[in-house]
């Protein structure tokens, strides 16, 4: 599968891993400043981390939640237009019709909102002696797929825990996505065990690029993020990876390489659809 006719086969992707504080206005200003810095370095698609404008935690979601459009998404729209980039706005706590969601918005180079992804799979886990977290105590799940077009390729969106569900990535690949982006905040238990493993698995299984954008690690936070924002290529190689500190990582995405891998190992033509299938129940 070659890049679509008229599509550009190469572009620079930037992942922003910034420290999130308890002050929303500071988080917004810092994020916008880092987006501008990334754009100045030639990034055409820029991604922010999960809960980039608020601390992560069930007690914080109601306090920091806002409507979309609202203060945070307005700033994202403005900076995307100012920089002429595609901006994947990490996620924010969203309030709508009496419910709260963990929501990622995407803005195009003209400032238009191109996608709104509400986290489909809520992070409800209990690892005895290590971590218990129940997003469902305050959040509601989304119920739709989120894909947006760029001049380079289609991009599929998930948020954090969504990456554990291989079916979502398979459906995005069926829809023609060549890059999957998951803003996420894994923790100090699941991060070292599964963060990179899941990204490499989704990339190899679907022969796509996979990118994750995490907040920087804050040892004083009630929820300590693992960090290590990452980009994996369709061969399963980690081609960019942050440490735990506040930083921006860049990688040049080569869609010609993706096409070559799919020609060398033609998984998509070899699937036994007479024996099994993955299908979307709704669009």
Residues with a catalytic annotation lie at: 50, 119, 160
Give burial (CB, 10 Å; 0-12/13-18/19+) of 95. Answer: middle
Total residues belonging to the chain: 283
Distance in angstroms (rounded) separating the CA atoms of residues 21 and 2: 43
Q: Is 169 helix (H, G, I), strand (E, B) or coil?
A: helix
Distance in angstroms (rounded) separating the CA atoms of residues 234 and 257: 8
Q: Is 219 helix (H, G, I), strand (E, B) or coil?
A: coil
CA 283 from centre of chain: 20
Give CA torsion, residues 7, 259, 145, 84, to 10 deg: -30
Contact present, 250 and 43 (Cβ < 8 Å): yes
DSSP 23-89: -HHHHHHHHHHHHHHHHHTT-SEEEPPTTTTS--STTTHHHH-B-SSSHHHHHHHHHHHHHTSEEE-
Q: Residue ranges of the alpha helices (H) in the chain?
A: 24-40, 61-64, 71-83, 166-174, 190-206, 255-264, 267-270
Question: Closest by alpha carbon to 139, among 56, 27, 29, 46?
Answer: 56
């Amino acid at each position: 599968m070659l890049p679509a006719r008229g599509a550009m086969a190469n572009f620079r992707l930037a992942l922003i891993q910034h420290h999130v504080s308890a002050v929303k206005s500071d988080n917004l200003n810092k994020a916008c400043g880092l987006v501008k810095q990334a754009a100045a370095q030639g990034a055409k698609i820029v991604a922010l981390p999960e809960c980039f404008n608020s601390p992560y935690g069930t007690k914080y979601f109601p306090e920091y939640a806002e409507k979309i459009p609202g203060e945070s998404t307005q700033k994202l729209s403005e900076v995307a237009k100012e920089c002429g980039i595609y901006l994947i706005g990490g996620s924010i706590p969203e309030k709508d019709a009496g419910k709260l969601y963990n929501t990622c918005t995407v803005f195009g180079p003209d400032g238009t909102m191109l996608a709104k992804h509400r986290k489909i799979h809520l992070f409800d886990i209990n690892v005895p002696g290590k971590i218990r977290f129940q997003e469902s105590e305050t959040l509601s799940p989304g119920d739709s797929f989120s894909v947006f077009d760029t001049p380079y390729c289609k991009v599929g969106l998930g948020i954090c825990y969504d990456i554990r569900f291989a079916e979502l990535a398979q459906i995005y690949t069926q829809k023609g996505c060549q890059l999957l982006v998951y803003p996420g905040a894994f923790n100090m238990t699941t991060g070292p065990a599964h963060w990179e493993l899941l990204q490499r698995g989704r990339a190899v299984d679907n022969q796509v690029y996979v990118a994750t954008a995490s907040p920087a690690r804050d040892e004083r936070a009630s929820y300590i993020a693992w960090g290590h924002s990452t980009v994996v290529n369709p061969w399963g190689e980690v081609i960019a990876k942050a440490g735990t500190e506040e930083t921006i990582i860049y990688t040049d995405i080569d869609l010609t390489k993706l096409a070559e891998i799919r020609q060398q190992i033609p998984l998509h033509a070899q699937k036994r659809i007479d024996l099994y299938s993955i299908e979307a129940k709704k669009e």
